[in-house]
Amino acid sequence: MYEHTVGDPTEALQTLSRELETLRPALAAAFSRNMKDRLTELEEKDAQTSGDKPLGRLQGAKLAVSAAYVYLDLLWMHLKATGVDPTTHPVHTELQRVHAYFTKLREAEPDARPLHVDKDAAKRMVAASISGKHTRFDNDDADKKAKKAKKPKKDKKNSKAA
């Protein structure tokens, strides 16, 4: 009856298998140590660097939030598979909370924050530059100042004696 809607899944399974094989080394590296050790390593990385941007802590926070999201998402899928409506379960509230942390982490990224332009200061600078009141430094003025600096000063005692 449904033969025309279900195709052969062999090609899709082979593609999925190839993609999982490419992920295998990354997953092995990610799960080779426990999370506590990784977070401690990131904290120590911040302590060793003299910069004012705690990137290790930020990476640690991303790791913790990502792990929480994966755990809650697995619970969501398990509830759905067992016939429980996950939107009425407390896991839904927790997923929303963790999702809010993703937004906060994006905002905490050093390069993610938009630059703030002080519009009033910019207007003052533009107005000053086009007002026609410019200080002009010519080479002639510089030459005159140099000559005055080189000119020896007369000694008042010697001039009175003569």
Positive or negative torsion for Cα 51, 55, 58, 63? negative
CA distance 71 to 26: 19
Q: Is residue 71 part of a domain?
A: yes
- Give me the pLDDT at residue 129, please: 77
Cβ-based burial of 121 (10 A; exposed 0-12, middle 13-18, buried ≥19): exposed
- Give me the pLDDT at residue 102, please: 93
More confident residue, 20 or 153: 20
- Give me the pLDDT at residue 53, please: 65
Domain count across the chain:
1
- Is residue 58 within 8 A of residue 45, CB to CB? The reply is no
Query: What is the separation of C-alpha 33 from the centre of its chain, rounded to a whole number of angstroms?
Result: 26
Q: Is residue 87 part of a domain?
A: yes
Transcribe 46-59 into DSSP letters: HHH---SS-HHHHH
Residue 112 has pLDDT above 60, yes or no: no
Model confidence pLDDT, tens digit, residues 64-107: 999 899 889 989 888 888 889 999 999 999 999 999 999 999 88
Q: Is residue 100 part of a domain?
A: yes
Percent of the chain with pLDDT over 90: 19
pLDDT, averaged across the chain: 79
Q: Is residue 76 part of a domain?
A: yes
**Mean pLDDT across the stretch 43-57?**
73
Residue 81's domain spans which residues? 54-110
Model confidence pLDDT, tens digit, residues 11-38: 888 988 898 888 888 878 877 888 888 8
Residue type, 99: H
Q: What is the signed CA dihedral for 59, 64, 69, 72, rounded to 10 degrees?
A: 170
Q: Is residue 125 part of a domain?
A: no
Q: Is residue 12 part of a domain?
A: no
- Tokens 């005055």 belong to 148
Q: Is residue 136 part of a domain?
A: no
Provide the whole-model pTM: 0.52
**Mean pLDDT across the stretch 120-138?**
74
Residue 16 structure tokens: 């999925």
Residue 71 structure tokens: 């755990």
- Is residue 75 within 8 A of residue 105, CB to CB? The reply is no
Residue 6 structure tokens: 């279900």
Model confidence pLDDT, tens digit, residues 36-46: 888 888 888 77
Residue 145 has pLDDT above 70, yes or no: no
Q: Is residue 44 part of a domain?
A: no
